[in-house]
Homo-oligomer: A and B are copies of this chain.
Amino acid sequence: MAEKNIKFYIINATKIAEEIGLGGRTNTIMQSAFFKVANVIPYDLSVKEMKAAIVKSYGAKGENIVNMNYAAVDRGGDVEKIEIPSEWSAIEVKPVENTKERPDFVKNIMEPINALKGDDLPVSAFVDRADGTFPAGTTEFEKRGVAINVPEWIADNCIQCNQCSYVCPHAAIRPFLLSEEEAAAAPDGTALLKGIGGTKEYKFRMQVSVLDCTGCGNCVDVCPSKTKALEMKPLGTQEAEVERWEYMNYKVGYKDTILEKSKTVKNSQFAQPLFEFSGACAGCGETPYIKAITQLFGERMLIANATGCSSIYGGSAPATPYCKNYNSGKGPAWANSLFEDNAEYGFGMALAVNKMRDRIQDRMEKAENSSLSTETKTAFKEWIQYREDAEKTDEVSGKVIANLKKESDPIAKELLALEQYFSKKSVWIFGGDGWAYDIGYGGLDHVLASGEDVNVLVMDTEVYSNTGGQASKATPVESVAKFAAAGMRTRKKDLGAMAMTYGYVYVAQVAMGASQAQYFKAIKEAEAYPGPSLIIAYAPCIAHGIKSGMGKTQAEEKLAVEAGYWHNYRYNPLLEAEGKNPFILDSKEPDWNMFQDFLKGEVRYSSLIKSFPEAAKELFVVAEKDAKWRYNFYKKLSEDK
């Protein structure tokens, strides 16, 4: 800037917006600031035109809204010029030092790309990436610090429920358990609580990674404590948390066996998320679903990801949010294929793993008459017996490997080369509604029909989010979307009901904001089910225009279920085998009086009132009728004998 003599202006639009009552909406202020400094038309004229436009846009919403926007225009003029000192031209740029050693990939590839210097990288820089893979767990080195406000933990108010951690879209707030020594060695002023329940022997701390937090505020919103144990504070006030985070994350680490992690939502949060700090929007409704799955099954997961938001934040080159468990060194293997073949892609992963594990079993069986020790052969038999039991296989695999390392028979070498396939894998197929309901549906149906043991997670935003908000078959009647500007005219497709017609597919509809426990149950049942599973997760999105903001996405999920807009259920074929009704309707009878208000709370619906008032009147009625039709269908299923 100093060298090129650049004119530099600043304005604290965020602060102004808050002051004048516009919340996080800074666009009018910034527009006014632009006209003030750009001089494309006389500023006075631009102010006059902007105010005229405000009356046109918001006149119907009342004087108060108009005045707030007038103020935004006026205050936008308070833009401030910063004189650039000439000595800035001599500043030397030094990278921030991290306590954790940055891998070569981060130093030599990721950081140059993030600094927009990727074009300068020579081909030779990628020689280690010739197989097309990118290393996992590199988002932890980004430390973007993009939040304006971040949560501050108020230890005294905390009831240690870990709900804030469960819902965090970026894994930026996590509970830690500290031994006496760890507690003693913590940075000065680190507040700690005595652990409760099964964690009494330890100190408890809820730690925020303030440089990874995006500041959405869902953690604060879901905190069930009478007096909130979290409060949003400006990022600048939380600098001390940077060191604390590093101490907790790298030194204290994750004590995920003190409490059985698969037992409760609370327990699960002591496990390390193997999906962290992704590039998803602040408040994203999708990412908390993924994170919880990685906490339970991440070390043995293979993920096939459809095109869409989840493929972008799941692998936004150069940084990768999927990471390895610090203790075991294991984590999800992740890859993205095409929009139209993702189910098939994951199916192929499952087939390939089965084939390799069949080979292991075949070699073990053939080794019966080899020179291997009796102990090794006994371990083989155990492995074969338990190969489909995830926990047991892991235990036995340790034995098998230890024995194989002592053997000289060539078969031992061959088996050790297959070591990564010893553990039972958890194959997941991720995607959005654009993939699952539309473009990839033919393949998804084929894979579900196959009976193969794969797990499908559909993050249903009811619209093509990543490509800009086009209508999909998951878009409900009345919703405004691209290609459906006058409101969608057909009913939302019932993907779950269609999958249920097979009778051997596990199906769940979930909304974690409405029931954290129901989602937790669903992922455990789905993973354990020895066949295809489909979880359809309601995921609020910036494309919805939630009027209460993206800090309330969890609350919006709750509202959706209470109002009858979304229904949570589980269909488990194993129950039918026991002579029970396989269908369980988890959500309660909705309060239909809330339905219209729910719609009006989101711009995708409310905007229709303005643009097509006549159609809107009719479609709001149809939307409620459709929701009831669907609920009645589920209710009938749940009452089946």
- Chain A residues near B (Cβ < 8 Å): 438-443, 445-446, 449-451, 473, 489-491, 493-494, 497-498, 501-504, 629, 636, 640
Besides the contacts A449-B490, A491-B504, A498-B498, what 18 more A-B pairs have beta carbons closer than 8 Å? A438-B446, A439-B442, A440-B442, A441-B442, A442-B443, A442-B445, A445-B445, A445-B473, A445-B493, A446-B473, A449-B493, A450-B490, A491-B503, A494-B502, A497-B501, A501-B501, A503-B629, A636-B640
Q: How far is the CA of A489 from the CA of B503 in the complex (A)?
A: 14
Instruction: Give A641's nearest chain B residue, CB to CB.
Output: B636
Instruction: Give A497's nearest chain B residue, CB to CB.
Output: B501
Instruction: Give A495's nearest chain B residue, CB to CB.
Output: B501
Q: How far is the CA of A502 from the CA of B490 in the complex (A)?
A: 9
Tell me how far the C-beta of A577 lies from the nearest C-beta in chain B, rounded to whole angstroms.
12
Tell me how far the C-beta of A54 lies from the nearest C-beta in chain B, rounded to whole angstroms.
38
Q: How far is the CA of A446 from the CA of B489 in the complex (A)?
A: 14
Copies held by the complex: 2
Instruction: Give A473's nearest chain B residue, CB to CB.
Output: B449
Q: Which residues of B have CB within 8 Å of A504?
A: 490-491
A451–B640 CB distance below 8 A? no
Given contacts A501-B494, A503-B629, contact A489 B445 (CB under 8 A): no
Q: Which residues of B have CB within 8 Å of A629?
A: 503
Q: Which residues of B have CB within 8 Å of A450?
A: 490
Q: How far is the CA of A491 from the CA of B450 in the complex (A)?
A: 9
| In the A-B complex, the 7 residue pairs with the closest CB atoms | A442-B442, A497-B501, A498-B498, A494-B501, A451-B490, A441-B442, A449-B473
Name which of A439, A445, A451 has the most chain B CB atoms within 10 A of its CB: A445
Q: Which residues of B have CB within 8 Å of A501?
A: 493-494, 497-498, 501
Q: How far is the CA of A441 from the CA of B340 in the complex (A)?
A: 13
Q: List 19 A-B contacts (CB under 8 A).
A: A439-B442, A441-B441, A441-B442, A441-B445, A442-B442, A442-B443, A445-B445, A445-B493, A446-B473, A449-B473, A449-B490, A449-B493, A451-B489, A490-B504, A491-B504, A493-B501, A493-B502, A498-B498, A503-B629
Q: How far is the CA of A401 from the CA of B474 in the complex (A)?
A: 45
B497–A491 CB distance below 8 A? no
Tell me how far the C-beta of A313 lies from the nearest C-beta in chain B, rounded to whole angstroms.
26
Q: How far is the CA of A501 from the CA of B630 in the complex (A)?
A: 9
Instruction: Give A630's nearest chain B residue, CB to CB.
Output: B503
Tell me how far the C-beta of A438 lies from the nearest C-beta in chain B, rounded to whole angstroms.
7
Q: Which residues of B have CB within 8 Å of A491?
A: 502-504
Q: How far is the CA of A451 from the CA of B442 in the complex (A)?
A: 19
Tell me how far the C-beta of A569 lies from the nearest C-beta in chain B, rounded to whole angstroms.
14
Q: Which residues of B have CB within 8 Å of A498?
A: 498, 501
Q: Which residues of B have CB within 8 Å of A449?
A: 473, 490, 493
Tell me how far the C-beta of A443 lies from the nearest C-beta in chain B, rounded to whole angstroms.
7
Q: Which residues of B have CB within 8 Å of A497?
A: 501
Q: How far is the CA of A497 from the CA of B494 in the complex (A)?
A: 12
Q: Which residues of B have CB within 8 Å of A442?
A: 439-443, 445
Tell me how far the C-beta of A499 lies from the nearest C-beta in chain B, rounded to whole angstroms.
9
Instruction: Give A449's nearest chain B residue, CB to CB.
Output: B473
Q: Which residues of B have CB within 8 Å of A490?
A: 449-451, 504
Tell me how far the C-beta of A90 lies from the nearest C-beta in chain B, rounded to whole angstroms.
61
Q: How far is the CA of A441 from the CA of B640 in the complex (A)?
A: 29
Q: Which residues of B have CB within 8 Å of A502?
A: 491, 493-494
Tell me how far the C-beta of A452 lies from the nearest C-beta in chain B, rounded to whole angstroms.
10
Q: How far is the CA of A316 from the CA of B314 in the complex (A)?
A: 50
Tell me how far the C-beta of A341 lies from the nearest C-beta in chain B, rounded to whole angstroms.
11
Q: Which residues of B have CB within 8 Å of A443?
A: 442
Instruction: Give A340's nearest chain B residue, CB to CB.
Output: B442
Q: Which residues of B have CB within 8 Å of A640?
A: 636
Tell me how far the C-beta of A40 lies from the nearest C-beta in chain B, rounded to whole angstroms.
43
Q: Which residues of B have CB within 8 Å of A493?
A: 445, 449, 501-502
Q: How far is the CA of A504 from the CA of B497 in the complex (A)?
A: 15
Tell me how far the C-beta of A638 lies from the nearest C-beta in chain B, rounded to whole angstroms.
13
Tell me how far the C-beta of A426 lies from the nearest C-beta in chain B, rounded to whole angstroms.
22
Tell me how far the C-beta of A130 lies from the nearest C-beta in chain B, rounded to whole angstroms.
35
Q: Which residues of B have CB within 8 Å of A440?
A: 442
Q: Which residues of B have CB within 8 Å of A445?
A: 441-442, 445, 473, 493
Tell me how far the C-beta of A45 lies from the nearest C-beta in chain B, rounded to whole angstroms.
42
Tell me how far the C-beta of A207 lies from the nearest C-beta in chain B, rounded to whole angstroms.
46
Q: How far is the CA of A439 from the CA of B340 in the complex (A)?
A: 13
Q: Which residues of B have CB within 8 Å of A503?
A: 491, 629
Q: How far is the CA of A443 from the CA of B451 in the complex (A)?
A: 22
Tell me how far the C-beta of A573 lies from the nearest C-beta in chain B, rounded to whole angstroms.
11
Tell me how far the C-beta of A497 lies from the nearest C-beta in chain B, rounded to whole angstroms.
4
Instruction: Give A629's nearest chain B residue, CB to CB.
Output: B503
Q: How far is the CA of A450 from the CA of B483 in the complex (A)?
A: 13
Q: How far is the CA of A34 from the CA of B87 in the complex (A)?
A: 102
Q: How far is the CA of A585 from the CA of B498 in the complex (A)?
A: 20
Instruction: Give A440's nearest chain B residue, CB to CB.
Output: B442
Instruction: Give A637's nearest chain B residue, CB to CB.
Output: B636
Name which of A442, A446, A473, A494 has the most chain B CB atoms within 10 A of its CB: A442
Q: How far is the CA of A636 from the CA of B443 in the complex (A)?
A: 30
Q: How far is the CA of A497 from the CA of B451 in the complex (A)?
A: 19
Q: Which residues of B have CB within 8 Å of A473?
A: 445-446, 449
Tell me how far the C-beta of A506 lies from the nearest C-beta in chain B, rounded to whole angstroms.
15
